[in-house]
């Protein structure tokens, strides 16, 4: 599967702008969502090839949404990279157990993120 469309889910407008700009400059079509409910609306309207998911958000957090999507046959094949300030190994392990394909700690290093995306292609 070639990754072209990316949904970025993060409650920080600064992070959304940074990641959107980075991805668009590298040829990806980007949609954004500021919380889990917004993300679900976007997913149902237009399924992306990849989801970049923050963990700490109001309402449903990124671990919970990742688990829900991984268990939903409609979205289970969409890879999720957790993109979070939670930098403990236990957080990474928990995120992977929820169904994430990869885990990256903020502040995001552009080369690292792009390498992780390429690895999914």
pLDDT score recorded for residue 115: 97
Q: pLDDT at residue 1 above 80?
A: no
Q: How many CA atoms lie within 13 A of 47 on its CB side?
A: 9
Is the Cβ–Cβ distance between 75 and 43 less than 8 Å?
yes
Phi-psi region of 64 (alpha: psi -120 to 50; beta: other; left: phi over 0): alpha
| 3-state class (DSSP) for residue 4 | coil
Share of the chain above pLDDT 70, in %: 99
d(CA 46, CA 37): 14
CA-CA distances (angstroms) from residue 55 to 38, 43, 63, 74, 110?
A: 15, 17, 6, 22, 19
Q: What is the mean pLDDT of residues 29-44?
A: 97
Quick: pLDDT tens for 59-116.
Answer: 999 999 999 999 999 999 999 999 999 999 999 999 999 999 999 999 999 999 999 9
Share of the chain above pLDDT 90, in %: 98
Q: What is the pTM of this model?
A: 0.97
Task: Please give the domain boundaries of the chain with CATH numbers for all domains.
Answer: 5-109 (3.40.50.2300)
Q: Where are the alpha helices (DSSP H) in the chain?
A: 13-25, 36-45, 62-71, 89-98, 110-120
pLDDT score recorded for residue 121: 83
pLDDT score recorded for residue 3: 96
């Amino acid at each position: 599967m070639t990754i072209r469309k990316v949904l970025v889910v993060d409650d920080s407008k600064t992070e959304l702008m940074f990641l959107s700009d980075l991805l668009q400059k590298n040829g990806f079509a980007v949609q954004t969502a500021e919380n889990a409910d917004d993300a679900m609306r976007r997913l149902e309207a237009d399924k992306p090839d990849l989801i970049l998911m923050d963990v700490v958000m109001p309402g449903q957090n990124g671990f919970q949404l990742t688990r829900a999507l991984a268990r939903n046959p409609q979205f289970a094949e969409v890879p999720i990279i957790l993109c979070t300030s939670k930098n403990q190994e236990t957080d990474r392990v928990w995120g992977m157990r929820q169904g994430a394909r990869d885990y990256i700690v903020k502040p995001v290093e552009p080369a690292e993120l792009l390498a992780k995306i390429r690895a999914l292609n």
